[in-house]
Amino acid sequence: MSRTLWIVKTTLPGEMNEAEVGMWCQSIIESNLAVCVDMKRINSVFRWEGEIQNASEWDIQIKTHESSKNGLISKIKSEHLSHQIVDVTNF
């Protein structure tokens, strides 16, 4: 069994309330796809369709084992809520 721990980061829409985000994070743990999920509200500044935008989002950091990483990323992509572009970073 690999002891390598991966960190997978994504965001969720700022319109979601803390309880909704908490339930989503808990579902990741219940699916045995992660050992820990951290969530925090952030404010992001970005360029979208040529315009500078400012939006509230939830920053999600997920710690997972190498054996669960691909399943976790698939779950994130299949369940991603309202963002037009699914942002998943892992390292």
Higher pLDDT, 83 or 35: 35
CA dist 75 and 59 (Å) reads: 17
List pLDDT tens digits, range 24-65: 999 999 999 999 999 999 999 999 899 999 999 999 999 999
Note the pTM of the prediction, 2 decimals: 0.83
> Can you state the percent helix, strand and coil of the chain, rounding each to 5?
30, 45, 25
Question: Which residues lie closer than 8 Å to 48 by C-beta, 6 or more apart?
Answer: none
**Comparing C-alpha atoms, which of 18, 60, 58, 12 is closest to residue 36?**
60
Residue 38 bridge partners (DSSP): 61
